[in-house]
């Protein structure tokens, strides 16, 4: 089903709710089921319709998840205004039900086949008890869909659930199902039919294991880069006084959220000194200290988060973070045509506001192996981690030779819609500039 712009109802919660609700409201969409605070900020009359799209924070507040059949429409509109955003889109997946096919047993459950994709089912059930699974989300850390063996079907105001254990029987439902919400007679009838269809497909020998037996709705993750959060600050500022760095600081975790809320409450009483005071206290307090261990996260646009081995901070100020990481494995260094050996080490320089990180690799004796410049969005820094959106394309220097690598991966990400035109062009522009500076030894 297609959607006309201006006809989507949405609900939004979390760190980015004010900015996104203002943005989508100006585009003609209709907010529903908003918090009282948000209703007052927007100056609208509250409504309680069922939303077409649900928007909520990602698990680490690095962006938002959009769920619903109009999710891609709204995601495209947001990225049109917030260009430093990466999109991971799974059509018709959220809430989809699959006939179970177990691939392997893992420590806390099973890996299951979902029509060619892999899902993670956390359960204490035996393999023979698992007949069907339903998608409940996506885990970037393991690059798998999350599924449950408790099935839910809905229609309007009615909902029924199916438990893997227990064969209770309730009116108008197959054995093993029970009513969760009661709606109109028409909604109950629709739910009853859906539940019976699921049971029929699960028990049919003609339906192969791993096959989707009930379609879901669209699922979209928008990961916001450092500059994207600045744009979102501007949108929130249309509704309520907003300090610079509001969304960046709030996305670092709950402890920073409380400090931001306090700072914005006292802002009217501080006057012109406010921004400098915030910079000298709150913002500088975010950065890690020298000798501390820190985690580094590559957030890839294709839905994968890569965590590097722990690094130690050598230098930290408001412009530059320098880390050292020990190499503990053997193999080859990508793009450098050199062997990797335990005892090697990497020195990485993160420049705040720059679109790359420069890593120089060394042997145990201090001799240089080569330089690897990873093209990415500007780094976001906290006391415990550094993260950025990896843009695939990279620049390497081995000896006197400098080359741009992995441009094909950038092209693929652009073609697949994971990055937009802005990020695509920016990545190429930065890679060319970095390559020139590495050749002339300016970097």
> Do 168 and 267 fall into the same domain?
no
256, part of any domain: yes
Does one domain contain both 291 and 410? Answer: yes
Task: Tell me whether residue 41 is in a domain.
Answer: no
Q: Do 417 and 305 share a structural domain?
A: yes
What's the pTM value of the predicted model, to 2 decimals? 0.92
The Cα-based distances of 293 to 36, 323, 340, 357, 428 in angstroms read 41, 9, 23, 18, 32
Q: What is the pLDDT of residues 195-223, one digit of tens each?
A: 999 999 999 999 999 999 999 999 999 99
273 and 335 assigned to the same domain: no
Write down the residue that tokens 């994971």 correspond to.
418
In sequence order, the β-bridge partners of residue 85 are 224
* DSSP sequence for 279-336: IIIIIGGGSPPTT-EEEEEEEETTTEEEEPSPEEEEEE-SSEEEEEEE--S-EEETTT
* pLDDT number for residue 4: 45
Residues 304 and 380 in one domain: yes
Q: Where are the extended beta strands (E) located within 2-150?
A: 9-12, 30-31, 53-57, 63-67, 85-94, 97-99, 102-106, 109-114, 117-122, 132-139, 144-148
Tell whether 267 and 203 lie within a shared domain. no
Identify which of 2-16, 168-182, 383-397 has the greatest average pLDDT.
383-397
State whether 338 and 362 are in the same domain. yes
Of 263, 285, 307, which residue constitutes the final position of a domain?
Answer: 285
Q: Is residue 314 part of a domain?
A: yes
For 336-383, how does the pLDDT look when each residue is reduced to its tens digit (9 = 90+)? 989 999 999 999 999 999 999 999 999 999 999 999 999 999 999 999
Largest CA distance in the chain: 78
Q: How many whole angstroms from its chain centre is CA 342?
A: 33
Q: Which of 154-163, 270-279, 305-314, 333-342 has the lowest mean pLDDT?
A: 270-279
In a domain, 258, yes or no: yes
More reliable by pLDDT, 3 or 376: 376
**Where in the sequence is the domain holding 281, given as residue range(s)?**
246-285
**The total number of structural domains that make up the chain:** 3
Domain identity same for 136 and 267:
no
> 429 and 300 in one domain?
yes
Tell whether 132 is covered by a domain.
yes
Query: Domain for residue 81, yes or no?
Result: no
Q: Are 391 and 419 in contact (CB under 8 A)?
A: yes
User: To the nearest whole percent, how much of the chain has pLDDT over 90?
Assistant: 77
In whole angstroms, give the CA distance from residue 220 to residue 86: 10
């Amino acid at each position: 089903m297609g959607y006309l712009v201006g006809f989507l109802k949405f609900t939004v919660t979390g760190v980015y709710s004010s900015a996104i609700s203002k943005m989508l409201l100006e585009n003609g969409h209709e907010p529903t089921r908003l918090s009282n605070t948000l209703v007052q900020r927007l100056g609208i009359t509250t409504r309680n319709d069922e939303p077409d799209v649900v928007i909520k924070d990602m698990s680490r507040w690095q962006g938002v998840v959009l769920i619903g059949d109009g999710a891609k429409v709204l995601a495209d509109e947001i990225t049109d205004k917030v260009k430093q955003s990466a999109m991971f889109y799974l059509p018709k997946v959220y809430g989809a039900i699959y006939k179970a096919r177990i691939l392997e047993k893992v420590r806390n459950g099973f890996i299951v086949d979902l029509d060619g994709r892999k899902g993670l089912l956390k359960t204490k059930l035996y393999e023979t008890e698992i007949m069907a699974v339903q998608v409940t989300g996506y885990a970037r850390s393991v690059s798998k869909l999350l599924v449950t063996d408790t099935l839910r079907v809905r229609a309007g105001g009615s909902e029924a659930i199916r438990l893997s254990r227990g064969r209770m029987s309730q009116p108008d439902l197959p054995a093993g199902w029970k009513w969760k919400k009661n709606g109109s007679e028409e909604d109950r009838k629709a739910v009853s039919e859906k539940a019976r269809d699921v049971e029929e497909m699960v028990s049919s020998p003609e339906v192969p294991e791993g096959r989707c037996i009930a379609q879901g709705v669209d699922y979209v993750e928008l990961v916001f880069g450092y500059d994207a959060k600045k744009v979102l600050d501007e949108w929130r500022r249309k509704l309520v006084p907003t300090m610079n760095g509001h969304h960046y600081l709030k996305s670092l975790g709950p402890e920073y959220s409380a400090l931001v809320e306090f700072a914005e409450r006292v802002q009217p009483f501080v006057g012109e000194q406010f921004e400098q005071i915030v910079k000298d206290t709150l913002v500088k307090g975010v950065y890690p200290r020298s000798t501390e261990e820190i985690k580094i996260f590559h957030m890839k646009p294709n839905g994968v988060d890569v965590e590097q081995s722990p690094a130690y901070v050598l230098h930290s100020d408001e412009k530059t973070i320098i880390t050292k990481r020990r190499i503990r494995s053997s193999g080859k260094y990508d793009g450098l045509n050199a062997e990797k050996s335990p005892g090697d080490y990497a020195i990485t320089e993160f420049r705040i506001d720059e679109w790359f990180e420069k890593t120089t690799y060394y042997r145990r004796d201090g001799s240089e192996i080569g330089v690897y410049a990873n093209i990415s969005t500007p780094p976001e820094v906290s006391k415990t981690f550094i993260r950025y959106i990896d843009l695939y394309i990279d620049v390497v220097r081995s000896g006197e030779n400098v080359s741009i690598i992995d441009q094909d991966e950038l092209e693929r990400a652009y073609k697949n819609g994971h990055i937009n035109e802005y990020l695509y062009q920016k990545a190429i522009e930065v890679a060319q500039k970095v390559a020139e500076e590495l050749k002339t030894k300016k970097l």
